Amino acid sequence: MSVQSAVLRPTRYRDMTARHKEWVLGYAMLVPAFTFIIGLIAYPAAWAMYLSFTDKVIGQQETFVGFQNYVWLSQWPNFGRMIWNTALLAVVGVALKAFIGMTMALALNEQFFGRTVIRALLFLPWTVPAFVAGLIWRWMYDDQNGLFNWALMGMGLISEPVSWLGDIRYAMGAVMSVVVWKGFPFFAIAFLAGMQGIPSEQYEAAEVDGASAWQRFLYITLPGLRHVMLITCMLSLIWTANTFDLVFIMTRGGPSNATEVFTMLIYDQGIRNGRIGEASTAAMMAMPIFAGLIIILTHYLQDKDEERA
Amino acid sequence: MPTKTMGTVLTRRGMARRTLLKTVGVGLGAISLAPVISACGMIPGMGGDKMTIWTDATFAPPSDDYQTEEINKWAKSKNIEVEITRETGDNVRQKLQAAIESKQLPDVTQVDDGRFTAFYPAGIFTDHSALFAEFGKQWGGWYKPGERIVTRDGKQWMLPYSIDSNLILYRKDILEAGGVKEAPKTWDELYDVAKKLQTPPNIYGVGFQFSKAGTDAESTFGLMMLSYGASIVKEDGKLGTVKSPEMLAFLTRIKSSWDMGVYPPGVTGWDNAANNTSLQDEKTIFIHNPASPLVWFRTNKPDMLPKIGVSAVPAGPKGQFNTAYIRDGFAILNTGNQKRMDLSKELMRHLYSKDVYRKWIELAFPSPAVAGMEDMEIWKNPQRKGFLDAAKTGILQGHPGPPSQAYSEFTNRQPLISAAARMAVEGWTAEQALDELAKTAEDVFSKYK
């Protein structure tokens, strides 16, 4: 065997140094995670981005159209309204969820009879599938046979049914109420868990120093929960901005376009009309906002990890 | 040292690195192969003889159950396995979209005219001309609307099974009590009678949806539009003059009807079932719908059934139109598996056989697609006869042009409902609504030039 061929011979695993073996093993163990990330996240995202530059229609060969879809979408008659509705639902929805969640968490952090049962019940709205929640609330808001109109008319507070989902003044509020109802338990549970991590000595010391309940909340609870609050709000902001099922079931974006959100356009163009290129464009246009939120969240979580280390 | 620790742990606990790597490799291999293995059952030529049949869940469950029973009976007689799924039409549509892209088509799917028009360009339908001719001969011919929808380039690409139509369903008892002996013949009459006889908030006059969740109203307003002499397309199916005095007159009529206060306040948020519910719950006098509420009354409120009248869609100043569309139909899809495609043809022969088809029509609510069932007892009932008449003569979606993908996409955007909702909810003028309607039409049709 020549020197050259001996050098070029492929290295066998048992001939490797311990350090090299560790590298190989390390990379091998990363393969499943990489496979799933590439297969289920990177590839579909890249494909969606490509499709957004095409005129792809279901069952037909696509052609590259450059930024045509983006121009088309920016001229969509309800484009501004959709962005406003999406932002309103996300920002106000998250703020309300955080407020109610905090209130619930503070109450449930106290000792009282039946606390465990109430904590379990608190989770209920979070566990109800959105589809079921949408149908139940749609019925409650229904103008013909709905619970709210029945109750209000029975009490003599209104003389004719109110169109909660069909009146531009109430529709967004009705949808928002369900989004908040479905989402606040997540906040409450997260805040409650965060409160368990705040040392009780801090409260005791503050109490000895004469701090009021409000001051204890302001100077101990809130700072102690700031990491949990940020992460919870960020995640919820992303989820709420992506709300589709509740809006679809309750109002389908109506009345007129009063509750139309971004995801409705994606559904209408992609599923109803089979225009995958245009639907992908709508999804891509929302992506920078979500990517920004995710980057902030990841950055923050990394900082927190380093802080702990 | 981490290296030493890791190596020691792995070795001492009984799994050598080599074994671990092998396990990881085999695991990954299995994960990669899993979808391939599972897909083999659906890939043409690889899935054996099991037939996949996608069917629609309709508003008449007994007819669905009967059809499933007959398909199973047929499969048993042929000693083959069938997989039948029954879902709403919207779900079947979405599944078909995925199936087309992944090239994993079912052997047979139920199709309505909307799905047929949308997916015809994808080339998934096979030439059904021979079967179409065979069944046409067997049943004394096909009704024209169904034949026109499925015929492209002189060939037939699916088999219509039922033709449906939306007619006016109304409270005959309320009209009679109010001294109105006949159903209104014109839109103006309908709104006047509704205004006169309604007793809000208990009973409102008219239950048409002003909401995109309610697709029935797109057809209602479409027929009203035509009756005012307006249209979206020309006879060749190309975009016509949308901004016309006739279209403005039609939109003005919708707006004035809203201002009359004949609609329940919730119609701006109604879904597609809400108009049915309003009639079934005795809360409106007139709705525009297929016969499905009659099926509901038959089962749930038989006493009310004789109090429901059925009449043709009212006329406008420029004419009167009823619609006709394929509600149920079958398509044998191009799976590439000849054996299963031949079996699918045999299944079609079973479903179109005399006893099976007639029994299904008896249980269902639409009209047949073929002419040979007019002797059936059910058509003596005036409530159902109106639907049969419409099935024979109704106009197709896209009138006065032929059914087209462009018009299908246009109606999917529900532009007439949008216009009505703009005027009702946001207080737009008819002129503003007309501007937006014209822009929508231009946007959609410009993609098909």
Q: Looking at the structure, tell me whether residues B229 and B143 fall in a common domain.
A: no
Asked if A39 and A132 sit in the same domain, the reply is no
Mean pLDDT of the residues in chain B = 89
* B148 shares a domain with B191: no
CB B81 within 8 A of CB B51: yes
Residue A301 lies in a domain: no
pLDDT score recorded for residue B44? 42
**Confidence at residue B37, expressed as pLDDT on a 0 to 100 scale:** 46
Task: Please tell me which residue of chain A has the smallest CA distance to B435.
Answer: A77
DSSP letters, A87-136, are HHHHHHHHHHHHHHHHHHHHHHTS--TTHHHHHHHHTHHHHS-HHHHHHH
Answer whether residue B398 is part of any domain.
Answer: no
Binned at pLDDT 50, 70 and 90, residue A305 comes out as low
Does residue A255 sit in the same domain as residue A154?
yes
Query: For an interface test with B, which of A256, A259, A278 has the most B Cβ atoms less than 10 Å from its Cβ?
Result: A256
Is B334 found in the same domain as B317?
A: no
pLDDT at B249: 98
C-beta of residue B228 within 8 angstroms of C-beta of residue B249: yes
Distance from CA of B395 to the nearest CA of A (A): 23
Question: Could you say which of B274, B412, B425 has the minimum Cβ distance to residue A273?
Answer: B412
B265 at A interface, C-beta within 8 A:
yes
The answer on A164 and A37 residing in a single domain is no
pLDDT-derived band of residue B31, with 50, 70 and 90 as boundaries?
A: low
Interface probe with A: pick from B104, B111, B211, B411, most Cβ of A within 10 Å: B211
Looking at the structure, tell me whether residues B301 and B185 fall in a common domain: yes
Task: Please give the Cα distance from B2 to B10 (Å, whole number).
Answer: 12
Does pLDDT of A14 surpass 80? no
| Of the listed ranges A54-58, A272-276, B22-26, B358-362, the one predicted with least confidence | B22-26
Alpha-carbon distance of B215 to B414, in angstroms, equals 7
Residue in B85, B78, B160, B155 with CA at minimum distance from that of residue B115? B160
Residue with tokens 């503003």: B432
pLDDT interval class at B1 (50, 70, 90): very low
**Is the CA virtual torsion A305, A308, B4, B10 positive or negative?**
negative
Residue A137 corresponds to which tokens in the numbers above?
């609330």
Q: What is the reported pLDDT for A57?
A: 93
B268 touches chain A (CB under 8 A): yes
- B81-90: per-residue pLDDT in tens? 999 999 999 8
Residue A31 belongs to some domain of the structure: yes
Question: Is A293 part of a structural domain of the chain?
Answer: no
Q: Is residue A150 located within the same domain as residue A219?
A: yes
Residue of B nearest to A159 (CA): B201
Tell me, yes or no, whether A98 and A247 share the same domain.
Answer: yes
**What angle separates helix A276-308 from helix A226-241, to the nearest 10 degrees?**
170
The CA distance from B372 to B361, in Å, is 12
Residue B385 lies in a domain: yes
β strands within B57-123, DSSP E: 82-87, 108-110
Considering only CB atoms, which chain A residues are within 8 Å of B271? 252
Going by the DSSP 8-state scheme, the letter that residue B105 receives in this structure is -
Looking at the fold, whether B154 and B172 belong to one and the same domain comes out as no
- Domain tally for chain A? 2
DSSP one-letter string for B366-427: SEESBSTTTTSGGGGSHHHHHHHHHHHHPBPTTTTS---HHHHHHHHT-HHHHHHHHHHHS-
Contact A58 B418 (CB under 8 A): no
- Say yes or no: A228 and A88 in one domain: yes
- Distance CA(A107)–CA(A99), nearest Å, equals 13
B44 domain-assigned = no
- Model pLDDT, residue B139: 97
Going by C-alpha positions, the residue among B10, B12, B23, B22 that lies closest to residue A22 is B10
Task: Give the Cα separation of B64 and B335 in Å (integer).
Answer: 25
Residue with tokens 């029973």: B69
Q: Please, which pLDDT band fits residue A300 given cuts at 50, 70 and 90?
A: confident
Contact predicate B295/B365, CB 8 Å: yes
Q: Which domain, by its residues, includes A203?
A: 79-259
Would residue B210 count as lying in a domain?
A: yes
Q: What is the pLDDT of residues B32-74, one digit of tens each?
A: 555 444 444 444 444 457 899 999 998 889 999 999 999 999 9
Q: Which residue has the tokens 């799905």?
A: B115
Residues B157 and B306 placed together within one structural domain of the fold: no
Q: Whole-angstrom Cα distance, residue B288 to residue B297?
A: 16
Per the structure, how many domains does chain B have? 2
| Nearest by Cα to A134 from A240, A242, A251 | A251
Q: Of B26, B28, B46, nearest to B37 (Cα)?
A: B46
Question: For B213-256, how does the pLDDT look when each residue is reduced to its tens digit (9 = 90+)?
Answer: 878 899 999 999 999 999 999 999 999 999 999 999 999 999 99
Let me know whether A111 and A180 are in one domain: yes
Average pLDDT in the B129-152 region? 96
- B contact test, residue of A143, A159, A269 with most B CBs within 10 A: A143
Q: How far apart are CA A244 and CA A257, in angstroms?
A: 14
Give whole-number Cα distances, B46 to A291, B40, B51, B105, B340, in Å: 42, 6, 12, 13, 12
Q: Given this model, what pLDDT does residue B434 score?
A: 98
Residue with tokens 């909340």: A217
Q: Are residues B307 and B385 in the same domain?
A: no
B25 lies in some domain: no
Residue B325: which H helix or E strand, with range?
strand B325-332
Q: What count of CB pairs under 8 Å joins A to B?
A: 138
Do A46 and A95 sit in the same domain of this protein? no
Question: B66 to each of B60, B69, B74, B191, B351, how far by Cα in Å?
Answer: 10, 5, 12, 41, 11
Percentage of residues of chain A with pLDDT beyond 70: 94
**Domain assignment present for A39:** yes
Which residue range(s) make up the domain with B193? 167-321+413-448
Indicate whether B213 and B240 sit together in one domain.
Answer: yes
Q: Which pLDDT score, from 0 to 100, does residue A68 have?
A: 94
| pLDDT tens by residue, B174-210 | 999 999 999 999 999 999 999 999 999 899 999 999 9
Report the CATH number at residue B99. 3.40.190.10
Among the partner-chain residues A24, A25, A255, the one whose CB lies closest to the CB of B421 is A255
In the predicted structure, residue B27 carries a pLDDT above the cut 80: no
For every residue of B24-56, DSSP letters joined together read HHHHHHHHHHHHHHHHHTTSTTTSTT-EEEEEE
The angle subtended at Cα A58 by Cα A52 and Cα A64, nearest 5°, is: 35
Residues whose CB falls within 8 Å of the CB of residue B1, separated by 6 or more in sequence, listed in order: none
B198, with CB counted inside 10 A (0-12, 13-18, 19+), is: buried
Q: Residue A207 sits in a domain of what CATH number?
A: 1.10.3720.10
Rounded to two decimals, the pTM is 0.83
Distances (CA, A) of A164 to A144, B201, B312, B324: 11, 15, 33, 34
The reply to whether A98 and A29 lie within a common domain is: no
Q: Is residue B237 part of a domain?
A: yes
Backbone φ and ψ for B369, nearest 5 degrees, come out as: -95, -10
**Using omega within 30 degrees of 0 as the cis cutoff, is the peptide bond preceding B245 cis?**
no
HSE (side-chain half, CA atoms, 13 Å) at A145 = 12
- B210/A258 touch (CB, cutoff 8 Å), yes or no: no
Whether residue A19 and residue B3 make contact (CB cut-off 8 A), yes or no, is yes
- The alpha-carbon gap from B378 to the nearest alpha carbon of chain A, in Å, equals 33
Same domain, B176 and B227: yes
pLDDT tens figures, B281-324: 999 999 999 998 998 998 899 999 999 999 999 999 999 999 99
Query: Are B151 and B245 found together in one domain?
Result: no
Task: Tell me if A19 is assigned to some domain.
Answer: yes
